[in-house]
Amino acid sequence: MATVKIGEPYYCTQCGREHIKGKIYKNHLKYARDEDSDKEKLEENDESYDEEKDEEKEILEAFDELGIDSDDKDKEVINGAIVLDDEEELADRKAEVEECIQQVKNLPGVGEATLTKLIKAGFSSLESIAYTPPSIIKEESGLGDKTTAKLVKASMDQLGIGFKSGSEIWEHRKNIARISTNSQELDDLLGGGVETGSLIEFFGEFRTGKTQIMHQLCVNVQLPKESGGIEGRALYIDTEGTFRPERIIQMAEALDLDYNRVLKNIIFGRAYNSDHQILLIKEAANIIKEKNIKLIIVDSLIGHFRSEYVGRGTLANRQQLINIHLHDLLRLCDIYPELAVVVTNQVSAKPDVFYGNPLTATGGNVVAHGSTIRVYLRKGKGEQRIAKIVDAPHLPEGEAVFSITPEGIQGE
């Protein structure tokens, strides 16, 4: 009788079933063939061997869905773009992600199956569980009501979420990082630049510089902190087809940066409809820490919603979806305090305004309440643009003048 090699099928005369050489069958351990190695004998004596392998395989598949690749440390592929990384830096970030997942695994009642469901749904850290409404966790992970409630409570307890003193909040605020816009006057208007942990809205007519500011922020976020950056990557969600790599190249060269490196550090996603736009933000939650994303841009926030939901009969549904979308973005700011979210918005004219400015940001009160800081942009003379603080919890109303030049945003 020929010797059966590892991985080949054979017919087991003892139990009348087909087996694979080298694979251990829990219900047929005593029939498993052992002809080649002591290692296989040890495996046969461990009834949980196959189950552990299957569980490990499921976890690895969930890690793959998160974008964590243990074999490819020199390059990452996201939306077709290859982003090169320092091997040590990538290993550190991967270790952080694995540590977060281990913390989730240590929550009471979390077994391998529950952990896999949470990871696949994007809840791979205590913060993502604690700050997300239980109804959303339940819907996206498929867990039960009681399990979800326990997970949320346990995560909040471990993170110490509760009341804090004003001095603690002040200590946190003092350490907030900011991204320079490349215009000193505009930075001063924003209190030092675009701050992390907030959702900032720029709205205005066409050609007022909204997309130009977004491109500049994508470049500047990659700069060292002493140069006005926060040493991170940008995630750019484009809903209007206005992202231009050649513009990034001009801005990068003006700052004496390697534009190839700059472009590789911008992760681009084209949203083709409102549902796709919402989905991209949900998927972004899975890669923020792993890809070192420090800036999320949505240009523009309301374009798709405005074109797909037409007429008063669809207004309630539209506003509800925009509200959910905004809170998804705000939740990312809570989960990742070092992340800045910047959106652009369109304007519409009020026909009943006869004096003053008839233009108002679209989205109504839902967008107004959802944004942390709101900046209105309008045209000035020639290349000049004027930015005005419309709403901010800590900044006074004021205006700043900046210019849009071939080299990017410039101060006056």
Looking at 1.10.150.20, 3.40.190.10, 3.40.50.700, 3.40.50.300, the CATH number of the domain 61-159 comes to 1.10.150.20
Fold of 169-411: Rossmann fold (3.40.50)
Contacts with 12 (C-beta within 8 Å, 6 or more apart), sequence order = 18, 19, 28, 31, 33
Q: What is the pTM of this model?
A: 0.76
Q: Which of 37-41, 52-56, 152-156, 363-367 has the lowest mean pLDDT?
A: 37-41
pLDDT band at 73 (very low <50, low <70, confident <90, very high): very low
Note the pLDDT tens digit of each residue in 185-235.
999 999 999 999 999 999 999 999 999 999 999 999 999 999 999 999 999
> Which helix or strand (DSSP H or E) is residue 223 part of?
none
353 exposed, middle or buried (CB, 10 Å; 0-12, 13-18, 19+)? exposed
Place of tokens 């830096």: 89
From the centroid of its chain, how far is CA 176?
A: 19
Q: Do domains 61-159 and 169-411 have the same CATH topology?
A: no
pLDDT at 368 over 70: yes
pLDDT band at 391 (very low <50, low <70, confident <90, very high): very high
Arithmetic mean of pLDDT, 393-407: 94
Q: Which of 43-52, 142-151, 272-281, 305-314 has the lowest mean pLDDT?
A: 43-52
Note the pLDDT tens digit of each residue in 93-123.
778 888 888 888 889 888 888 988 888 888 8
Q: Which of 43-57, 152-166, 235-249, 317-331 has the lowest mean pLDDT?
A: 43-57
Helix axes 315-335, 274-284, angle to 10 degrees: 10
320 exposed, middle or buried (CB, 10 Å; 0-12, 13-18, 19+)? exposed
> Which helix or strand (DSSP H or E) is residue 83 part of?
strand 81-84
DSSP state for residue 225 in the 8-state scheme: G
Domain boundaries, the chain: 9-47, 61-159, 169-411
* pLDDT for 353: 67
Which carries the bigger pLDDT value, residue 59 or residue 152?
152
pLDDT at 57 over 80: no
Work out the mean pLDDT of the chain and round it to a whole number.
83
pLDDT at 390 over 60: yes
Is residue 390 within 8 A of residue 375, CB to CB? The reply is yes
Arithmetic mean of pLDDT, 10-38: 55
* pLDDT for 167: 94
